[in-house]
Amino acid sequence: MFKEFPLSYCSSRSVSATLSHCGRMSSMAALCVLLVAFILLTVSGNVMVCLAVCRSRRLQRVANCFVVSLAVTDLLLGLLVLPFSATVELRSGNWSLGGALCNIYISVDILLCTCSILTLLAISVDRYLAISAPLTYSQRVTRLRVALVLISIWVWSLALSFVPIHMGWNTADYHVQHLDWGIGDEDRDGRYCQFEWNNNYIVLYTLCSFYLPLLLMCGMYLCIFRVAREQVRRIRAAMPSFARSPSTAAIAREHKATVTLAAVLGAFVICWFPYFTFFTWTGIKPKRNPPNTVHSVVLWLGYFNSALNPILYPAFNRDFRRAYAELLCCRGF
């Protein structure tokens, strides 16, 4: 009546299942180690940036207040967002901490991303003022004005991230998302902690929070390099008096700082443009799908930008290299 299978067949199935389980466990362990290392790199790197600016006199300039603000944003991302994102990644997208915490997690993620974009926009304006009018830069860019700009950036980012989600503006039916979730019920109906949106909101959000600031920044840096090229031409024409002119030396220093921050902007575009493009494309689709491999790749590519910035500063700026070396007690670095 019952079909009998050879013992070798049962043994082979048991061995293959065991090997498959061991392979999955090994992959999960490797992914866990990689994510933890990435989070530690993000946190430690941005702490280094803050300490370098605070302890080095050569870096204690008004313009570097924006650099510190950007580093604090990346540091908060590493402390408040990445641990939850890593947990979600290891649980295949499932969320078990309830709907209220899910909304807060999404809001903080959007807050820090928006703050990074607006800080980079402020940096581009600061660089334009430093390059185009170096003699009046210190009168235009004061500590008070920089503080007011940074406060405005954080307030606007808070409003853009928390208000729409907690008022339900981002959903198709204008109800607050995920409020019916309980803690620990991630396996019921597939609890994926994602940012919900309707078609009108996604276009407005991505346009105002990413694409428009990005166009403004690119246009600003084009103007900056146009002015810088003209200044370099004038400096070369004034040789050899260039070596004895403190004003031209200051211009050269500003040029180096501008190149560093332009590299930071380029890294931000490379890391975040794929995510916002994917985000916009999936947002206008009539059907939403659970997180997939493409979503994970573009999301963590964006997160990678927070770990990359502390590497770019010393790579393009000698003062940061010296400050890092002093922090690491390696003066011969």
Average pLDDT over residues 114-133: 89
Q: What CA–CA distance (Å, rounded) separates 308 from 65?
A: 19
Model confidence band, residue 96 (pLDDT cutoffs 50, 70, 90): confident
Average pLDDT over residues 287-293: 63
Does 249 fall in a domain?
A: no
Average pLDDT over residues 231-246: 63
Is the per-residue pLDDT at 27 higher than 90?
no
Does 245 fall in a domain?
A: no
Does 15 fall in a domain?
A: no
Model confidence band, residue 84 (pLDDT cutoffs 50, 70, 90): very high
- What percent of the chain is predicted at pLDDT more than 90? 28
pLDDT digits (tens, 9 = 90+) for 252-271: 666 677 777 788 888 888 99
Model confidence band, residue 247 (pLDDT cutoffs 50, 70, 90): low
Model pLDDT, residue 304: 93
AA identity, residue 91: R
Does 222 fall in a domain?
A: yes
Who wins on pLDDT, 190 or 310? Answer: 310
Is the per-residue pLDDT at 227 higher than 50?
yes
Q: What CA–CA distance (Å, rounded) separates 161 from 175?
A: 16
Does 12 fall in a domain?
A: no
Q: What CA–CA distance (Å, rounded) separates 186 from 70?
A: 34
Does 6 fall in a domain?
A: no
Which residue blocks in the chain are alpha helix, DSSP H? 7-55, 64-76, 82-90, 99-132, 137-140, 143-167, 199-206, 212-237, 246-283, 293-316, 318-327
CATH at 164: 1.20.1070.10
Torsion of CA 18, 24, 28, 31, to 10 degrees: 130
Average pLDDT over residues 19-41: 82
Is the per-residue pLDDT at 5 higher than 80?
no
Is the per-residue pLDDT at 296 higher than 70?
yes
Model pLDDT, residue 231: 73
Contacts of 148 (CB under 8 A, 6+ apart): none
AA identity, residue 221: Y
Is the per-residue pLDDT at 2 higher than 50?
no
Who wins on pLDDT, 95 or 282? Answer: 95
Model pLDDT, residue 132: 84
The domain total for the chain is 1
Beta-carbon count within 10 A of 19 CB? 10
pLDDT digits (tens, 9 = 90+) for 175-188: 888 777 766 555 55
Model pLDDT, residue 173: 78
Range from 6-10, 181-185, 192-196, 198-202 that averages highest in pLDDT: 192-196
Contacts of 241 (CB under 8 A, 6+ apart): none
Q: What CA–CA distance (Å, rounded) separates 142 from 264?
A: 23
Is the per-residue pLDDT at 40 higher than 90?
yes
Average pLDDT over residues 55-70: 89
Model pLDDT, residue 257: 72
Model confidence band, residue 158 (pLDDT cutoffs 50, 70, 90): very high
Model pLDDT, residue 332: 46
Q: What CA–CA distance (Å, rounded) separates 213 from 116?
A: 11
> Range of 170's domain?
21-239+256-329
Model pLDDT, residue 183: 62
Does 248 fall in a domain?
A: no
Model pLDDT, residue 241: 53
